[in-house]
Structure 1
Amino acid sequence: MTDRLTIGVIDPEVLGTYGDTGNALVLSHRARARGIATDIVEIHLDEAIPADLDLYVMGGGEDTAQALAADHLRRCADFTAALRRGRTLLAICASLQILGRSYTDATGREVAGAEVLDISTTPQGHRSIGELVTAPLLPGLTQPLTGFENHGGATQLGPDARPLGRVLSGSGNAADHDGGAVDGACQGGVVATYMHGPVLARNAELADYLLARAVGCEVGDLAELDMPLVDQLHAERVRAAGVSA
């Protein structure tokens, strides 16, 4: 297990609208609490995205910001190839959409995605805004996932992607999967979701899942952390959505 971790924050100038870059701070804090040194590196639109960092985060943004980030990913073939080989990345909302095969923007134009996730997104005709709670479907996660969604996309999963969670409250992908509403998409080392929050501040289990992948161990091998306020926040947000924690 590595004792140093480098976290890349991709395009914070356009994908930082909803505070999702805070996910990198959560990962860094939980790593350092376990004696793992961390470096956070911001990668901007005019820079090549390095393909050899330990862990990456991408956030959400508006339509123009999303298009700029999608173009950036398409120009960074080495990075997207690394994701397909299993590099660990957390993607939120707009980033979920641009990592797919394609997404349709607000003008009805179909935009090519990075083709890292086997998903496609089209407009759903209205915005989904509010608390989102799901029952996790990612192996190793046991607690409900909680976040705040604000999107107008309906994301359909292809056979190579699996959902992050089954919707208990809210909309999520706004497209059924095997007969039920789900949120997010997981494929290889990529975990994507419509949950803002930042999502990792609300969901310590998910943060530790990503950390474990990045440092090369099982979640159970990470030292336990005693952070009652984090647990309290998680429970409060789940209850606020009318779901039993």
Structure 2
Amino acid sequence: MNREPLAIGLVLPDVLGTYGDDGNALVLRQRARMRDIPAEIHRITLGEPVPESLDVYTIGGGEDTAQILAAEHLIADGGLSRAAAAGRPMIAICAGLQVLGESFRVGDRVVDGVGLIDATTAAMAERAIGELASTPTGAGASAGLTEPLTGFENHLGATILGPDAQPLGKVTHGNGNADETAAQTAASEGRGDGTQTGVDGAVQGSVIATYMHGPVLARNPQLADLLLAQAMGIAPAELEPLEIPVIDRLRMERLARRH
């Protein structure tokens, strides 16, 4: 049956494209095309309106000034928020997670986020950098994920989830959202209860977010196919299985590096 090409939104790659997270959109497009599903990437840059009716959205990482520009634009435009309200699937990485939260801190300034995730971000004392692995929680839109998640974290952000958000994964290697010191500091400020350590990312509504670079969808094909299925309105089991030996070898290598 003919259908319109799957519309993949690459949101603000000019400011939130520092760590190669543009690759997530490429992975979604390639995994669709390998199944003879037509797919196109819609590149949305700073100053351009975000279409609210795309099938799936990818948001990447960036530095402090880029985060502020991205948040201001996405709040003023409103297209991404309308897409989330309509249940369009989204994957946000690192700074993307922070920007979609309620607020994030840059120096002494607290910047308003887009508000799609019940989360606030301050700073950790030391940068978290290195391999990150987790066991998926299966919360909300991530239901059905069963395979370990892996990526590479590189951030100073300490993200504390509010009651409306749930973590994407329980960390088995690496740091994740916040270390113990940052969690305790957040609790003293009335953000959280100091127990939010050992988790990565957030799931709320149709939004899945993580601190994992890699890009994360190249390293975690089950997550990529979950987003594809959501974008198409089908169950992941309805997608034709793909056998890509190089991806299997990559996963084995990265999972082995946790030890």
Q: TM-score range by the shorter chain?
A: over 0.9
- Give the superposition deviation at 1:85: 3.1
Deviation per residue, 1:138-180 (Å, 9 max, x gap): 2211111000000001111111111110000000001568665
* Superposed counterparts of 1:142-181, under 5 Å: 142-174=146-178, 180-181=197-198
CA separation of 1:214 and 1:178: change in aligned 2, threshold 3 A: farther
Match of 1:90 in 2: 91
Match of 2:80 in 1: 79
Match of 1:50 in 2: 51
Tell me how far apart the structure 1 counterparts of residues 146 and 15 of structure 2 sit (CA, whole Å): 33
Match of 1:203 in 2: 220
Instruction: Give 3-state SS (helix, strand or coil) of 2:8's partner.
Output: strand
Tell me how far apart the structure 2 counterparts of residues 82 and 18 of structure 1 sit (CA, whole Å): 25
Deviation per residue, 1:72-119 (Å, 9 max, x gap): 1111223312213311111000010010110111x1210000011111
Tell me how far apart the structure 1 counterparts of residues 157 and 196 of structure 2 sit (CA, whole Å): 19
Tell me how far apart the structure 2 counterparts of residues 78 and 43 of structure 1 sit (CA, whole Å): 11
Match of 2:191 in 1: none
* Superposed counterparts of 1:181-196, under 5 Å: 181-196=198-213
Tell me how far apart the structure 2 counterparts of residues 65 and 180 of structure 1 sit (CA, whole Å): 27
Instruction: Give 3-state SS (helix, strand or coil) of 2:14's partner.
Output: coil
Percent sequence identity is 53
* Superposed counterparts of 1:26-41, under 5 Å: 26-41=27-42
Match of 1:221 in 2: 238
The answer to whether the 8 A contact 1:91-1:192 is kept is yes
1:121 maps to a residue whose letter is: T
Tell me how far apart the structure 2 counterparts of residues 174 and 85 of structure 1 sit (CA, whole Å): 30
- Give the superposition deviation at 1:4: 2.7
How many pairs are equivalent? Answer: 241
- Give the superposition deviation at 1:71: 0.9
Instruction: Give 3-state SS (helix, strand or coil) of 1:26's partner.
Output: helix
- Give the superposition deviation at 1:218: 0.5
- Give the superposition deviation at 1:3: 6.1
Runs of 4+ residues deviating >3 angstroms: 175-180
TM-score, with length taken from structure 2: 0.89
Match of 1:122 in 2: 122
Where do 5+ consecutive residues of structure 1 fail to align?
Answer: none
Tell me how far apart the structure 1 counterparts of residues 248 and 70 of structure 2 sit (CA, whole Å): 33
1:136 partnered with 2:153: no
